[in-house]
Amino acid sequence: MVSVIPEGVYTMEAKRSIVKMNASRYHKASKKERSVILNDLVKTTHFHRKYLTTLINNTGKVCYTPQGIKLVGDPTITYIYKRGRKKIYTEELVPHLVILWKLSGFRSSIHLVYFIRHNKELLL
């Protein structure tokens, strides 16, 4: 059985949508057909087999949180953009901090805090 996957190079979003399209067919297939589908998906998406099976098995899976919220598994949705340290300063404050940093002689952030606290009257 040949899967419905076009040839080419894909973005991560496109690869995940390909997995989502083939998930229902995978669930209905026999064990031999599943291995063929997995082999096809490995060749096109370049994902590891274990990762693919995890994505396919979680597609459409319904979970309920303790608060009663219904969650349905969707491999096309990722939350990678929320990674990393949160921004502390706004964009309008950064140029002023750069000026203070230059005035303090390019001190570290810890020393810059003390510089600002002790020279508050001069800076205002």
pTM value is 0.53
Asked if the model's pLDDT at residue 2 lies above 60, the reply is: no
| 88 — pLDDT class (breaks 50, 70, 90) | confident
* pLDDT for the residue numbered 29: 94
The domain spans of the chain are 12-80, 94-123
Instruction: State mean pLDDT over 94-121.
Output: 89
* pLDDT for the residue numbered 28: 93
CB of 12 within 8 A of CB of 47? no
Helix ranges (H only) for 10-48 are 12-28, 31-45
For 23-78, how does the pLDDT look when each residue is reduced to its tens digit (9 = 90+)? 999 999 999 999 999 999 999 888 999 999 998 988 888 878 788 877 777 777 76
The C-alpha atoms of residue 110 and residue 119 are separated, in whole angstroms, by 15
CB of 74 within 8 A of CB of 20? yes
For the chain, the maximum distance between any two Cα atoms, rounded to a whole number of angstroms, is 78
* pLDDT for the residue numbered 65: 79
